[in-house]
Structure 1
Amino acid sequence: MRWFKKFIRNLTISDPDNEHFLKFIHRLEVIVSKILSLLMIGIIFVSLFDLVSFLVQQVFSPPTGFFNRTLFEIFGLFLNVLIALELLENITAYLQRNVIHVELVIVTSLIAVARKVIIFDLEKKQAIDLIALALTILALSISYLLIRLSRIKDRP
């Protein structure tokens, strides 16, 4: 209840620079980012457990030692864990530098789209879906290249 009163007070203070309000918003962003980090760690462990249980089930089910499902599903599960790790890295980078790191976001997006390509089922999807994924990868790759080139030019 105290934080709510403080919030209302910060809203009503006539501060020309809005310094009090902006500090409050910044603190709120940090709290939300920390909560997201903890939740993402939980998701990573659940995804990892899902991957391990899937692999154990596939290895020890008849015929023993052979994967009953395609390797693409297994790669998809691996990439789920990697995507979750990248998202955690994005949140951590935000907490460290207080800025959303665009390069990390694009890399995470590329991994997510790559996962879609790996698990893409040509029997269930249409060619236009594959073209859309290809254009998405092209756009993200060009964005990543432009960001990397701008970082190289900024260095002395």
Structure 2
Amino acid sequence: MALPRTQLSSFLAVVDHCERELAKILTLILGIVIVAALISLIRSVIGDLARPEGAWLGDSLIKVLGDLLTVLIALEVLENVTSYLRCHVVQVELVLVTALTAVARKVIVLPSGAEDKPQLLAGLGIAAAALAGAYWLVRHPLINQTRKDLNKSFQDPDQFVLLDNDGMQ
């Protein structure tokens, strides 16, 4: 049983309002988490630099890099959420960059002994390659032009253009 058009539009308006309020709350929480993580990172770096023996250049440096990349990932997620609030559209490019950063962080902070786990390394390699390929597809000019042409054709059915496999008319 379908809802009448007026009930459906008012229901969608309520859903949209709730979605926006939830995104605002998540943005606030994420901001608090980012500030706390940044304070922790600063304390960690200052504490490591204050040690005279310079032991922070080994495993401690990898931990600091991991923490730094974690803060960067959190900032990218915040940018994703605020971008969604502004445009009300999920920006795929931002999501892919965030995911690539997360995979890069995982590769950088691999614990010692990870070289004995070929499945983990293969999985990270496949994830990185898939995300890089997806990012390339999103950024590729020919594909973007084809997508823009298709969007125009959906907006104006009289201007529909058929493309072959090479993206040509």
Q: TM-score range by the shorter chain?
A: 0.7 to 0.9
2 CA distance for matches of 1:122 and 1:153?
46
2:82 paired residue among 92, 102, 118: 92
> Residue 130 of structure 1: SS of its match in structure 2?
helix
Residue 73 of structure 1 pairs with residue 63 of structure 2: yes
Aligned to 2:122: 131
Task: Tell me: CA distance 1:117–1:154, structure 2 relative to 1, closer, same or farther (3 Å).
Answer: same
Deviations along 1:36-79, one digit per CA (max 9) or x if unpaired, are 1101111110110111011111111241x551642221111110
Deviations along 1:2-35, one digit per CA (max 9) or x if unpaired, are xxxxxxxxxxxx5325000000000000000000
TM-score normalised by L of structure 1: 0.83
Which 5+ residue runs of structure 1 have no aligned equivalent?
A: 1-13
Matches within 5 A, 1:54-69: 54-63=44-53, 65-67=54-56, 69=58
2 CA distance for matches of 1:22 and 1:153?
31
Tell me which stretches of 4 or more aligned residues in structure 1 moved more than 4 Å: 152-156
2 CA distance for matches of 1:152 and 1:121?
43
Task: Tell me: CA distance 1:152–1:42, structure 2 relative to 1, closer, same or farther (3 Å).
Answer: farther
1:111 paired residue among 97, 101, 104: 101
1 CA distance for matches of 2:12 and 2:148?
32
**Percentage identity across paired residues of the two chains:** 35
TM-score normalised by L of structure 2: 0.77
1 CA distance for matches of 2:46 and 2:68?
14
Aligned to 1:82: 72
Cα RMSD between the aligned structures?
1.9
Deviations along 1:68-110, one digit per CA (max 9) or x if unpaired, are 6422211111101100000000001100110111111111000
Single out whichever of 102-111 and 70-79 deviates more from structure 2: 70-79
Aligned to 1:45: 35
Deviations along 1:121-154, one digit per CA (max 9) or x if unpaired, are 2415612101100000000000000111133555
1:151 paired residue among 122, 133, 144: 144
Structure scoring higher RCO (CA < 8 A, sep ≥ 6) equals 1
Which 5+ residue runs of structure 2 have no aligned equivalent?
A: 150-169
Residue 142 of structure 1 pairs with residue 137 of structure 2: no
1:15 paired residue among 4, 14, 20: 4
Aligned to 1:101: 91
